[in-house]
Every structure is written in C-alpha cells, then in structure tokens.
Amino acid sequence: MDGQRLTMMGNQAITQGALEAGVRVAAGYPGTPSSEIIQNLAGAADEHGLYVEWSINEKVSLEVAAAASFAGLRSLCAMKQNGVNVASDFLLHLAGSGIRAGMVLVHCDDPGALSSVNEGESRHFARMLELPQLEPSDFQEAKDMTKWAFELSEEIGNVVMLRSVTRLSHASGGVVPGPIPQAQGKAHFDHHGTLLDKGHGPVSSSPVAYKHRLQQEKLARAVELFEDSPFNSYTGPEAPELLVITSSICNLYVKEALVLLDATDRVGVLKLGTTWPLPPKLLQRNLERCGQVLVVEEVIPFLEENVKIAAAEMAGEIGAKRFFGKRDGTIPAQGELNPDIVLGALAGILNLPYQTRPPQYDLLAQEAAPQATQDRDLAFCPGCPHRASFWSLKGALALDARDGFICGDIGCYSLAMRPTGYGMLKTLLAMGSGAGIASGFGQLGRFGMDQPVMAVSGDSTFYHAVIPALINAVHQKSPMSLVVLDNSGTAMTGFQPHPGTEANALGQPVPPVDIEAICRSLGAEVTVCDPFDLEATQAAALALLADQSTAKVLILRQLCALSPQRKGSKLYEVQVDPEKCLGDQCGCNRLCTRVFGCPGLAWEKQSGKARIDEVICAGCGVCASVCPQGAIIKSERA
C-alpha cells in the first residue's frame, strides 16, 4: 500500500496519520463529524496492537488518552466541537501540566450545524488554553499533519489540537499512505521525581506560576517551528492586488474560486496549517505583499482576529491594511462556506463581474420543490421506538391537562422537537441538559408554577451527562420525571457501544452497567416499559405525572429499528384489512397517516383507505394499536 495514492475519507486520513505516528491508545465519544476516527482506529486495533475505547464522555476520553501519554505511549483523543467544551476543564489543567509521549486532540467542527444543535467554534480553546492549533486543508495534509502533530507534541511537551470540519472529515480525496511502525515500548508511569520534574515527577498544573511559564515557553517553541512549517504556504504573484489568508477546507474553496474567476495572477493565497499561535515572521513577509487582505474561514473569525492583532503589532513595519472577512460582512458570519460564496466575495473585492446564485433562485426553488419532491420533514425511521414513546408521552401529557412539557436532549430523539415527534420537546440544548433543566423547573412550584415537567434522555446520553443531573434532582427533591429512551446503543452516530452495552469498541465482552440499577441505587423510583405497548407506556407516564412528590424514572426499552441486533428483521407482518378500514367514513380523520405518521403507512388515494408499504414497514406493529377500528392487523412472523 505504501507510496500508492488512495482515496480516503478525511477521518480515515487522520486515522492513517495516527497509525503512522505509532499511536497506541485512542479514546473518544461519538459525535458527528468525528466518529469514524475512533471507529477506524478500533478496526485497526488488533493488527497494530492498540487500545481503543468509546469512553463515557469526552472529558473521560481525554483523561484516558492522557494516562497513556503519561505512561509513555502516544495517544489520540477525538470528539466533535462541543465535546471540547465537555473536555475543556481537564484540558485546561492538562495544558498546564504538560504531557509526556505525544498526544493529539482531534476536534471536528460542524460549520452550518449539519449534524449538530450548535455551530460551535472549538479553535478558541487553543488560544484560551494556550495550546498549539493545527488545521489540515486537504486529505493528504490531514494524514501528514496528524502524524506530525505527535512529533510536535513531544517536541514541546504538550497536547496538540488538530481541527477538522465536516467537509474534510466526511469528504474523500487522494492520500499517499506511509509505513505504519511496529508497536513498541512498555507502558510505565514514572512518578518518583519532584513536582518540578516534568519527565519523572507527579503530573500536575501546580505550582501554577512556574508551570504556566513553562507552558508559554512550549507555545513559543511551537511558533518557532511554525515559522518554517511546510503546512503554511504562499501561492500567487510576488505582489498581488489582494492577499487571501485561509485555512482548513476553505483553502480548496479559495483555489476553486480563483480558477473560476481567472484571477490567480491577481490574488495571492496564504494557506495556514498552523493557526495558533500565528508565526509572526511568516505573517509579516506575506502581509507586506499588498494592502488588501481577505480572510476566508468558517464559524468564528478566529484567524481574522488573530491576523489583525498581529498586523497591528507590526503596523510600523508593514503599514495599514484594508481587511475583508467576517467582521465586515464580506464573508457570512454564520453557516458553511462554499466556492460560490467565496467567489462572490472575491468578485466584489476585485470588481469582477460574477453572478453568484441569482437572488430569485431561492424563491424559484421554493416554488419548484413541492412539485418535484415529497413535502417531507425530517422524520423518525419506520419502526422507530421513539415515535411510539412520544405518542404515549403526548397522550399522557394531554390527559394530565396541566400544560406539562418535556425537556429534550441530544440524540435521534431530538427530532421530537419537530412534527415527527409531535413537537413534544420544549427545550433542546446540550448533552444531559434536559434532566438538569427539568430538575430546575421542578423547583419552581414554590413560585406558582403548576406545570409538570419531564425530561427525556437516550441511553448513551444518560451515561454521558444525565447521571449528575438525576442525582441532583433526587437529592434536591425536585418533582421531575426522567424518561430514558433506551434503544440499546448510540444510535444516532452509528451504534457505538456505551457503558450499557455488552461489548466495547474492540468487540470484547465487557460488563454492562445497568441504567435501571443506577437509578434505583440513587433512590429514584423506576418503572420499565416497552414503548411498543402504547397503553402500558401511557399509563406509566400518567402515573409519573400524577405523583409530583419526588424525582422518578421511566425507562422505555426497545431496540432501535436499525440496530445491528435487530438485523433488519420484522417483529410482525403488518397489513391493513381493507374491509375494516373505513377510510374517510371512519371519523378517525386518518389518524394513522395524518397524525401517527409512520413512513411505513400510506393513504391510498384510489381506495381512500390506509395501506402498509411493506418495503418501508419495519414490522414494529405499533400502528395496530393506533387504529381505532382494529383495521391494522399484525401477525407474528412464522
């Protein structure tokens, strides 16, 4: 495979770089667009002698990876942008203490929030916590830079942050892989030295003043290396009209835009791979080229602000510059970039005629869409247990009739904020925050609030961040109900194992940690129900709402319809009996298709009756309990 150019997904390239660097331990928590990195490393674990785990959350994964580094093994930790927030408290202290063997934190941002409920920027952590930041701009670089990040980490004795974005992590491009070294070296933690002995003493960020100075010296050393790094490059004429400074996948957008505008001889591009701290000499050399600078980047104007600070500091040498970027609106402040947006920005500055998407395009698209496509919102899969769960929770809250509501959380079930989950979620913020917010709402009865409050959590989210919130609710006697939607895996990101599963990331058997037992041990009352049993689930939820004395837990346990354990099998054969279905004569007003809304059900215009689409139907049989006429027949599969 060596020397041959292969097509790799960005996350695969990062994996390859880590393997070429001789990574021994990797840990992370699933989150789009980062998940394939740990998944791929787990796949390579046997062959290359790695330990890889899906940790309970990002903070613990960083701690697991740090331990390996302390014991002399190169380690990698991967997470999505907001995962860095979760890990950041540990990261602050780790940055202060420093590490031993090379350690890389790969954090994948999701500009435009394609698979997120935030458009978080994680590069700020590098500046805030004083760590070096790398940003690969294509697939080869993703591999090469990851490998080099380990060397840099060891050179300076600190964690190195490497940022990818969705369009790098999930797109594919050419990569020439290198050799993967044989695993070697015994893990051993040397702790007999003094506190000041960074190679042999106890690991701590204290004494703080001393360690902080050390940390800043490490950063200064990184800057020295960045001055000559091949990951920073200038392309273009010696004295361009405009200097574009960019990083990450935006570099490809800029390249494409300049070719399309035929402006490569007018515009120079400084592509930065080492984006924090910025190397001042390199920057000065390039800023001296011209008087106009456009910074092209996604999410927050991180690069732009840092370039401006550097330009101000060297104003005596380079003079005043005219800056374009996010801060003056040349580049949009939110959402993903694409070549068209960059084209528009460049054409504007260069005064070139270029029609980006015509203004009436969006209007025309809106008009054309309903004719060409189904009018369809994001929806739970056919046979999804969440649909059944929210159907029953909706019924229970309606019957309770006190304007109760549900605090949502992060997972597939976040979709319950939309029509597919009957719009049942009324708050949706961070991992674990549904239970925490519900714990707070529960205390507001003393101020006259008479609405009952529920929280939902997936099983993986339960372990990740709900447990402290639940302990809080139990201890503070907050009358909230937590509903754990246990579909037995981290479904949304691709069925990664979690502490409740019987196998770990490597497929080895591990003891599952039982959610029910945890809740009971906290003193919470626990009910367990199968959400496919609508009647029992609604009754259980109503009972929770009726008892407002304490924190309670309802576990709704049913395998995800797509779960590998289900292996695509149907529980039931489901059919509509056309004799029993009364169609629009029923008075049910198409309850099954109009309200319940499983994609496996269709309303047949010709017959004016409901029909099961057996290709789509997952065979959960829940709709048989929804039909008031008993016209939907489910039969056990032979």
Query: At its nearest, how many Å lie between another protein and the CB of residue 377?
Result: 16
- For the CA atoms of the chain, what is the radius of gyration? 28
The yes or no reply on residue 595 touching another protein (CB under 8 A) is: yes
Q: Is 524 left (phi over 0), alpha (psi -120 to 50) or beta?
A: beta
State both tokens at 532.
Answer: 């496919």
Query: At its nearest, how many Å lie between another protein and the CB of residue 23?
Result: 53
Query: At its nearest, how many Å lie between another protein and the CB of residue 402?
Result: 9
Query: At its nearest, how many Å lie between another protein and the CB of residue 594?
Result: 9
Compare residues 182 and 589 and give the one whose CB is closer to another protein. 589
CA distances from 309 to 83, 195, 223, 302, 315 (A): 28, 36, 16, 11, 10
**Residue 467 · residue 505 · CB < 8 Å:** no
Choices 40-48, 292-300, 395-403, 460-468; region in contact with another protein by CB under 8 A: 395-403
Report d(CA 339, CA 613) in Å as an integer: 41
The yes or no reply on residue 128 touching another protein (CB under 8 A) is: no
Report d(CA 45, CA 586) in Å as an integer: 59
Compare residues 181 and 628 and give the one whose CB is closer to another protein. 628
Compare residues 286 and 538 and give the one whose CB is closer to another protein. 538
Contacts 24+ apart (CB under 8 A), 421-424: 421/380, 421/386, 421/387, 421/390, 422/390, 422/391, 422/394, 424/390, 424/393, 424/394, 424/397
Report d(CA 376, CA 436) in Å as an integer: 33
Report d(CA 145, CA 391) in Å as an integer: 49
- For 528, the enclosing helix (H) or strand (E) is strand 525-529
Q: Which of 628, 630, 635, 637 touches another protein by CB under 8 A?
A: 628
Q: Which of 214, 350, 510, 591 touches another protein by CB under 8 A?
A: 591
Compare residues 118 and 593 and give the one whose CB is closer to another protein. 593
Query: At its nearest, how many Å lie between another protein and the CB of residue 543?
Result: 12
Give the β-pairing of 632-636 and 572-576: antiparallel
Report d(CA 530, CA 533) in Å as an integer: 6
Q: Which of residues 422-461 bind another protein (CB under 8 A)?
A: 422
Query: At its nearest, how many Å lie between another protein and the CB of residue 588?
Result: 6
Q: Which of 394, 464, 498, 552 touches another protein by CB under 8 A?
A: 394
Query: At its nearest, how many Å lie between another protein and the CB of residue 387?
Result: 13
Choices 88-96, 156-164, 391-399, 461-469; region in contact with another protein by CB under 8 A: 391-399
State both tokens at 288.
Answer: 């001296």
Q: Which of 171, 528, 626, 633 touches another protein by CB under 8 A?
A: 626
Q: Which of 194, 374, 585, 606 touches another protein by CB under 8 A?
A: 585
How open is the CA angle 305-311-312, to the nearest 5 degrees? 90
**Residue 304 · residue 295 · CB < 8 Å:** yes
Compare residues 391 and 532 and give the one whose CB is closer to another protein. 391
Compare residues 114 and 399 and give the one whose CB is closer to another protein. 399
Compare residues 171 and 586 and give the one whose CB is closer to another protein. 586
Beta bridge partners of 161: 105, 133
The binding track of 397-426 with respect to another protein, each residue x by CB under 8 A or -, is -xxxx--------------------x----
Q: Which of 132, 279, 301, 395 touches another protein by CB under 8 A?
A: 395
The yes or no reply on residue 542 touching another protein (CB under 8 A) is: yes
Beta strands in 110-241 (DSSP E): 133-134, 160-165, 172-175, 233-235
Residue of 158, 51, 186 lying closest to 101 (CA atoms): 158
How many residues belong to the site for another protein (CB under 8 A)?
17
Query: At its nearest, how many Å lie between another protein and the CB of residue 380?
Result: 16
Residue of 570, 571, 590 lying closest to 631 (CA atoms): 590
Compare residues 113 and 591 and give the one whose CB is closer to another protein. 591
Q: Which of 446, 589, 605, 606 touches another protein by CB under 8 A?
A: 589
The yes or no reply on residue 516 touching another protein (CB under 8 A) is: no
Query: At its nearest, how many Å lie between another protein and the CB of residue 603?
Result: 15
Q: Is 418 left (phi over 0), alpha (psi -120 to 50) or beta?
A: beta
Compare residues 373 and 589 and give the one whose CB is closer to another protein. 589
Q: Coil, strand or helix: which one is 554? A: strand
Choices 331-339, 461-469, 512-520, 583-591; region in contact with another protein by CB under 8 A: 583-591
Beta bridge partners of 614: none
Beta bridge partners of 458: 485
Choices 10-18, 48-56, 505-513, 582-590; region in contact with another protein by CB under 8 A: 582-590
Compare residues 506 and 543 and give the one whose CB is closer to another protein. 543
Query: At its nearest, how many Å lie between another protein and the CB of residue 296?
Result: 47
Q: Residues with Cβ < 8 Å from 318, sequence gap 6 or more? A: 284, 287, 288, 311
Query: At its nearest, how many Å lie between another protein and the CB of residue 593?
Result: 13
Q: Which of 159, 303, 407, 588 touches another protein by CB under 8 A?
A: 588
Query: At its nearest, how many Å lie between another protein and the CB of residue 608?
Result: 15
For another protein, the binding residues (CB under 8 A) are: 394-395, 398-401, 422, 542, 585-589, 591, 595, 626, 628
